[in-house]
Amino acid sequence: MSEKKIVIVGGVAGGASCAARCRRLDESARILMLDRGPHVSFANCGLPYYVGGIIDDESKLLIANPALFKDRFNIEARTGNEVLSIDTAAREVEVKELASGRLYREPYDALVLSPGASPVRPPLPGIDLPGIFVVRTVPDSRRIREWIDQKNAKSAVIIGAGFIGLEMAENLVLRGLSVTIVEMLNQVMPPFDPEMARPIQEHMERHGVKLALGDGVAGFDSAAGQLVVNTQSGARHTADLVILAIGVRPETALAKAAGLQVGQRGGIRVDEQMRTSDARIWAVGDAVEVRDLVTGDWTLLALAGPANRQGRIAADAICGRNSKFCGVQGTAVCGIFGLTVAGTGASEKSLQRASVTGYETVYLHPSNHAGYYPGAKPINIKLIFRKSDGRILGAQAVGEADVDKRIDVIATAIQFGGTVFDLEESELCYAPQFGGAKDPVNYAGMIAANSIRGDVLLADWRHVPLSDSFLLDVRDPEEFETSHVPGAINLPLNRIRHRLAELPRDRELFIYCGVGQRGYYAARLLSQKGFRVKNLSGGYRTYRLLAPANSIASS
């Protein structure tokens, strides 16, 4: 029997992991990996840090090269070779050697497409002006570095406030540039819910980044040697360079031309084994549509982890194994000026888009480790779960330390179909410098589980008519005097038992404290005394995340 020939288009995250796994499973296969770029297996995720100079040696971004693929894995990696088309009937790809222009054909028994996604470049006036960059490849980031050096650039406008936009903002500030971010939405970090994005925005502004939110780009021109970004509101932002970070689009041209099925989200449609509508062709990575584990909908997700896992699963399928891709939950993290921003699963926005109802949210603001141990930092956490059975749907967290660890735990729980009752019971690492005897993850589970069990009813600040409700602030008087919600009555937790007569029995009481804990104690006390009470989730700190500055009163 002749050896199997596996051809892989794209030699980075999905493609390279597929190639290496194919070799581990089949020593006799001929494996050819084609990439039109100058590199295989480079660290796209490190590019912003190369621009910023944290990674200063370009070679550090090159994780493997064709020689290593040959020597270690007996894989032929051909860079500078672009696949132009697929002949599915003949089972051949047509390839162009870019340096010489030579065209040739390569037959395959199994073909894997991992062409990635290309940065969106909307056809706006002036989009091709020199100095407007995208960040996808090592040469892209080298060009940005060179431009900054040659032009002695002092300012940049970044279009788009997603992960790449924020990472680029930090790195350009590190290089001494003054940075403005223009974002069409009213918030940074579009996958997040707006109230969770608020501390990120404040943090960025504290680090000197100017945010022009709620304003789309209308076009570009140049004046006095600088680029000008014109926005839909009529604003004009001048800068020495512009970074486009407004998202990516799956590279599907090859697949479409070959007649492969493409889904309604615009990605290549694959089954659980990453097989396309052609039985000999697999597709992985940013180019494919995947199932959202939480909503069950098809979605696109441009992240390195899923691309690597999918590459492995396609290799398994090609080599006769029955591995299956279980879907994505969008677990992602980003660091911005010392703040860690991480999320997993559904946001409220995504649930609303998918018309999912019957969920509840809790907010909490625990410390990353025991408060008595020096250096404790708060983490803002939002947990979303199904009310009927406590199934965890998603979580977002923002803070200066150990945020990723909490989101990773919750991500694993979501993957295993876990509930808030599981979080309540999770046994996690604890010593004073690492966590709490009740970890923030346990707290999140306990608060949610208490609500489901009816031990304490939670209220969401966004749904309580503040002007009309009986708001009971159970913090200490000094805290109340510093600032409080307008109209709230202050009755400190420690005094409640002695002053029950002051509270109305014919109205529902909405209780809040600093972060929700004293409110919980008060709610338990008062409900056992026959009062109708709800604890406002996350307390005053959540109110501050949600409320516009003018609805905060101080005495």
Ligand X SMILES: Cc1cc2nc3c(=O)[nH]c(=O)nc-3n(C[C@H](O)[C@H](O)[C@H](O)COP(=O)(O)OP(=O)(O)OC[C@H]3O[C@@H](n4cnc5c(N)ncnc54)[C@H](O)[C@@H]3O)c2cc1C
Q: Which residues bind ligand X (CB under 6 A)?
A: 9-10, 12-15, 34-37, 44-45, 47-48, 82-83, 114-116, 135-136, 164, 251, 254, 285-287, 302-305, 307
- Distance between CA atoms of residues 261 and 283, nearest Å: 11
When the beta carbons of 34 and 228 are compared against ligand X, the nearer one is 34
Least distance from ligand X to the Cβ atom of residue 197, Å: 18
Strands 298-299 and 290-291, sheet pairing: antiparallel
- 525's torsion region: left (phi>0), alpha (psi -120 to 50) or beta? alpha
Which C-beta is closer to ligand X: that of 9 or that of 341? 9
Residue 76 Cβ vs ligand X, minimum distance, rounded to whole Å = 14
The secondary structure of residue 432, as a DSSP letter, is T
Instruction: Considering the complex, state which of residue 343 and residue 440 has its C-beta at the smaller distance from ligand X.
Output: 343
Check if the beta carbon of residue 153 is closer than 8 Å to that of residue 237.
no
Task: Name the minimum Å distance from CB 389 to ligand X.
Answer: 30
Smaller CB separation from ligand X, 296 or 305: 305
CA distance 94 to 103: 7
Q: How many Å apart are CA 396 and CA 384, to the nearest integer?
A: 9
> CA-CA distance, 77 to 83, in Å (whole number)?
13
Q: Which is nearer to ligand X, 44 or 542 (CB)?
A: 44
Determine the residue with CB nearest ligand X: 285
18 is catalytic: no
**200-208 own/partner pairs: CB under 8 Å, 24+ apart:** 200/166, 200/336, 200/339, 200/341, 200/398, 203/336, 203/337, 203/339, 204/166, 204/169, 204/336, 204/337, 206/337, 207/170, 207/173, 207/337, 208/173, 208/178, 208/179
Tokens 């010489």 belong to residue? 100
CB of 471 to ligand X, least distance (A): 42
Token look-up 């788009």 returns 160
Short-list 437, 445, 447, 466, CA closest to 521: 447
∠ CA 36-41-42, nearest 5°, is: 90
Exposure class string for 23-57: b at 16+ Cβ within 10 A, else e:
beebeebbbbbbbbbebbbbbbebbbbbbbeebee
User: Quick one: tokens of 159?
Assistant: 């279009």
Q: Which residue reads 């004046």 in tokens?
A: 223
65, 42 Cβ separation under 8 angstroms: no
Catalytic residue among 45, 319, 334, 429: 45
Closest approach of ligand X to the CB of residue 277, in Å: 19
Burial of 358 (0-12, 13-18, 19+ CB in 10 A): exposed
The secondary structure of residue 37, as a DSSP letter, is S
Residue 227 Cβ, how far from ligand X at the closest point, in Å?
21
List the one residue out of 254, 284, 251 whose CA is nearest residue 21. 284
Active site residues: 45
